[in-house]
Amino acid sequence: MSASLTLISLGFTFWTLNIGDFTISGTADGDFDYDALPGTQHEFKVQVNAGKEECFAQKVALGAVFHVQYEVLRGGDRAIDVVVIDPDIKVTEHDASKTEGHITFKATKEGYFQVCLDNTPYRFSGKLVYIYIVTYIMEEWAQYMEEIQSVSLTAQNFSRSLTEVQTSIDAVKFHQSESRMHVIRDWYLATGNNQHIMYWSIFQISVIIVTSFFQVFCLRRLFRTTAVTPTSKPRA
């Protein structure tokens, strides 16, 4: 059978490969897809037509926890049969005529487990079913969580170090700004003093020059003599 899928936005890649009358979820080489996690998960919506059955297969490692959660979103009385079949083609779980539910068990064998949505008892109404499939090995998941916590602690320490560095940089910028303001203030003060001294020096030079001319004029007038007497007679 072929399934009409409406995929929900996920943080992993989901694809299907038709083999016989069911669909396999996994990787292109058939290996167990951990997707950088100690397990795999798929979340999607599937339209099951009236009187049809849609099956999906997921490879499960030995000892892994296999969890399926489903809910009929619309269609008829919103009831559907859900069947889980093991790699030996034996029914391991069966939920009959349910609107929603979940199935969880620990795999005792490795292989492809089929999850079938059976709508054959309902000949006149199709069903839109939300389904969530996840499988993981508990020990590897615990180790993964420890590694995540370790990475998180390292990231926190790194963030703390970056915060301290940023604080130091801000302090340096503050001191640089303060020093720059002092330099600008000193420059304006020096420029103002220079102009004041220059104008005062010009004034003093002008006074000295005028005083010098006045002294010369006075000395020349003091020692100046005439060739005639006040009565216009020549001096002897």
SS3 letters across the chain: CCCEEEECCCCCCCCEEEECCEEEECCCCCCCCCCCCCEEEEEEEEEECCCCEEEEEEEECCCCEEEEEEEEEECCCCCEEEEEECCCCCEEEEEEEECEEEEEEECCCCEEEEEEEECCCCCCCCEEEEEEEEEECHHHHHHHHHHHHHHHHHHHHHHHHHHHHHHHHHHHHHHHHHHHHHHHHHHHHHHHHHHHHHHHHHHHHHHHHHHHHHHHHHHHHHCCCCCECCCCCECC
* 127-149 mean pLDDT: 80
In a domain, residue 188? The reply is: no
Question: What pLDDT, on a 0 to 100 scale, did the predictor assign at position 229?
Answer: 62
pTM here?
0.48
pLDDT per position as a tens digit, 178-216:
888 888 888 888 888 888 899 999 999 999 999 999 998
pLDDT per position as a tens digit, 219-235:
887 877 666 566 666 65
In a domain, residue 161? The reply is: no
pLDDT per position as a tens digit, 43-59:
999 999 999 999 999 99
Q: Which domain holds residue 25?
A: 4-136
What distance in Å separates the CA atoms of residue 80 and residue 23, rounded to the nearest whole number?
19
In a domain, residue 90? The reply is: yes
In a domain, residue 30? The reply is: yes
Question: What pLDDT, on a 0 to 100 scale, did the predictor assign at position 83?
Answer: 95
Contact between residue 72 and residue 129 where contact means Cβ atoms under 8 Å apart: yes
* 150 φ, ψ (degrees, to nearest 5): -65, -45
In a domain, residue 103? The reply is: yes
Average pLDDT score over the chain = 79
Residue 91 burial class via C-beta count within 10 angstroms: exposed 0-12, middle 13-18, buried 19 and up: exposed
For residue 107, give the CATH number of its domain: 2.60.120.380
In a domain, residue 184? The reply is: no
In a domain, residue 100? The reply is: yes
In a domain, residue 217? The reply is: no
- Count of domains observed in the chain: 1
